[in-house]
Amino acid sequence: MHSQVLPGFLIVMSSNLTILLGVLLLGLVALAAAVLTHRVWRYAQYRLLDLPNDRSSHIQPTPRGGGLAIVVCFGVTLAGLFWGGLLPQPLALALAGLVPLSVIGFVDDHGHVPARWRFLVQAVAVIWALIWIGGMERIEVAGSAYTIGWMGDFLAALFMLWMLNLFNFMDGIDGIAGVETVTVSLSAMVLMSFSIGTSLPAEAYVALVLAAATSGFLVWNWPPAKIFMGDVGSGVLGFTLALLALWSAQHHALSLTVWLILAAVFLVDATLTLMIRIRQGERWYEAHRSHAYQHAARRWSSHRKVTLSVLAINLVWLLPLAWLAMRHPGGELWLLLIAILPLFFSACRLGAGRS
């Protein structure tokens, strides 16, 4: 009897030790990101000051470029996961697209880089990533698979380009982009743990590390922010979440619709604002402060209230709907509609797209 109990005890102890080591590793990633963000702050307060103007949502000169800490800590940990055998080569090489994105973003934080050059680098990074994950010629919607050939690759490229740009657009008040990244990443990881059931897939580890690195940065970006993320971080976050969504959809961990539900706050606000600005004939690619979240921040005179509202919506509204969509894939499009409609009407009421 003792010989039967002992192996079971050892298995449990080994599992608990693995979990403990994982938690400690994530804690170290978050701590490293917090320390590095402070180092970037000391550098940026003399070289990368974001000065308030009529399109800003802040009133004090604030250093930017803090997203560099996220990128460095995230990238180094990904390299460790790859060498430890937890990250498959295609996903690791696809994630390497964040390197040129972070470089062009950091250069842009120092001084303006023309939009055409930024878009060129973004397009190269997206094409690189899609090549390594094998494209998206086959897509699964509402539990049924469809082969749509090159159109799937085109739509996947548009999705990734929009995600990395909308994070730039939505990173306009203290803490909001960081909170969105942490909640979407952790929610996806939790759902994948239910979906797979045994061991976590590679994309779940990537999501955990992304959340940990971003949490360390949030220590300094929480309202009132001591430092802003900057283009060096925002584009990388959008790119990574979009890539994880496509990869997990390919490998049947989470459908793309589930990811759309989880990221609905940013997707609805950014997309609706863009469409309204284009319809009004405005230069949609220029900086502005007409997103719904920016109107809300001015109406409530508080960045913190808006950021906490995004946190609550993601966890209380969108996460349960995403779980239902995962459990009942045949009804996922209806659940996506249910998730989006209240956000759409709220954004309209707040004046999304209107100066």
Query: How confident is the model over 205-227, as pLDDT tens digits?
Result: 999 999 999 999 999 999 999 99
Instruction: Give the pLDDT of residue 12.
Output: 39
pTM over 0.85: yes
Question: Is pLDDT larger for residue 155 or for residue 54?
Answer: 155
CA dist 286 and 260 (Å) reads 25
* 6 pLDDT tier (thresholds 50, 70, 90): very low
CA dist 214 and 29 (Å) reads 9
Beta strands in the chain (DSSP E): 49-50, 62-63, 138-141, 144-147
Q: How far is CA 355 from CA 170, 245, 254, in A?
A: 16, 33, 38
- The pair phi, psi for residue 147, each rounded to 5°, is -100, 115
pLDDT in tens, 119-134: 999 999 999 999 999 9
At 138 the three-state DSSP class reads strand
CA dist 121 and 42 (Å) reads 28
Asked whether the predicted pLDDT for residue 296 surpasses 70, the reply is yes
Instruction: Give the pLDDT of residue 1.
Output: 45
